[in-house]
Each structure stands twice: as structure tokens, then as C-alpha cells.
Homo-oligomer: A and B are copies of this chain.
């Protein structure tokens, strides 16, 4: 049994190696321009081997996306543990996410690109399912915060926590997960405006949901 276990570990290690290489390549060249051959070179493997671990290039992208989601989720976990008020927790998440953008641009880009990669992927992809699952976790963490605020009295009773959660973080409607706050080829000067809009969103939202 030990050999089987070791093999499993080695397989997992290879997988990680490939994802690590993909991160480097994607971030230095961009998701579109990077090729599977680039990733193979970076990982010192042949292209064929990549396809033993990932069915498509899209799946590699999703693997990086999944890592991003786990990071976000762990941030939220820490925030939830703190003894802050719910409103504070929401603001903390906003602040932490802003830092995340600056410090982990590669992961942030993976989040932005999910819309594209997630929709061009076979429905029964294991990794896609894992991503959907991890998003659900984040969703419930946010709902958790809002509901706690309602119980403690800092947030109005009639606030729709599920919708707040979707407005903040959801791959379809979330303002954090969908806003492009990183330099792309064009219009780099508008990033600050975007960040300011997000700040204002949180200001308005909190104004609307906090108990008077």
C-alpha cells in the first residue's frame, strides 16, 4: 500500500509543478498568449505529459482559479474569526481584497478570467465542480457574516444576505470578482477610478444595510 500512496503523492506533486509553471508563464505572457508548450518548457516536461494531468488548457487555468478561491476563502475565515462587528468584517474583506490585487496579481487575473474559462469547459470536469464548490463556500462565508450582523443588531433585519453576498462575490454578479482593477492593454489610467467606484459601492451598501 505504501507504494501506491507514494505514487499518489508523486502524482499530486507533478500536478502542483505544472500549476506552478503555468502560473509563472501565464503571468509573464498573459493567459491568451501563453501556450501549453511554454508551460511544458517551464515545468521541464513534455507537452504530452501536461495532458496526462489536465484534459485541456482551460483546466490548467481553472486549477489556478481554484487556488485563488482558496486564498480568498482563507482570508474570509480569518476575518470571521476576529471579534469585529459584521460591518467591520465586510470592510475588512474589502481592504484585504484590495491588498490581494496588488500582491497577487496573477491570482487576481485568474479570477477575472474565470468567466471565460469556466464557460468553455465540459460540465462534468472535476476541477470545474471543485471551483463551483469553493465559490459556494465563499458565498456561505459572506452570508454567515451578514446573518451574524443581523443577530447582533448591527445590520437591519430585513437585509437579504444572499443577495448582498452575490453582489460582493459571485462569478456572475460580484463586484469584487468581476471588476477589472488591473492594467490591461488599454486604458490603464482608469484603474484608480475603478477602485474608487468599488470603495463607493461599499460605502453606499453599508449605509443601506447598517441599523440606524
Point out residues on A near B: beta carbons under 8 Å: 32, 112, 115-116, 118-121, 123, 128, 132, 160, 162-164, 166-167, 170-173, 175, 178-181, 184-187, 190-191, 193-194, 196-198, 200-201, 204-205, 207-209
Verify A173–B179 contact, CB threshold 8 A: yes
Report the Cα distance A121→B172, complex, angstroms.
25
Verify A181–B186 contact, CB threshold 8 A: no
Measured between beta carbons, the chain B residues less than 8 angstroms from A163 are 196-197, 200-201
Measured between beta carbons, the chain B residues less than 8 angstroms from A191 are 172
Verify B172–A120 contact, CB threshold 8 A: no
Q: Identify 30 residue pairs between A and B in the complex whose beta-carbon atoms are under 8 Å apart, listed by A's number.
A: A115-B180, A116-B116, A118-B186, A119-B185, A120-B185, A121-B186, A123-B185, A128-B186, A132-B186, A132-B187, A160-B200, A163-B196, A163-B197, A163-B200, A166-B193, A166-B197, A167-B175, A167-B197, A170-B197, A171-B180, A172-B191, A172-B194, A173-B179, A173-B194, A173-B197, A178-B178, A178-B179, A204-B204, A204-B208, A207-B208
Measured between beta carbons, the chain B residues less than 8 angstroms from A180 are 115, 171-173
Minimum CB distance partner of A168 in chain B: B197
Minimum CB distance partner of A32 in chain B: B120
Measured between beta carbons, the chain B residues less than 8 angstroms from A173 are 175, 179-181, 194, 197-198
Report the Cα distance A119→B123, complex, angstroms.
27
Give min CB distance, A27 to chain B, whole Å: 15
Which 8 A-B residue pairs are closest in the complex by CB-CB distance?
A166-B197, A163-B200, A204-B208, A119-B184, A172-B180, A173-B179, A172-B194, A173-B197
Measured between beta carbons, the chain B residues less than 8 angstroms from A209 are 204
Among B119, B187, B194, B204, point to the contact of A205 (Cβ < 8 A): B204
Q: Known A-B contacts: A162-B193, A170-B194. Give 13 more (CB < 8 A).
A: A116-B116, A118-B184, A119-B185, A121-B186, A128-B186, A164-B200, A167-B201, A172-B180, A172-B181, A172-B191, A173-B181, A173-B198, A204-B204
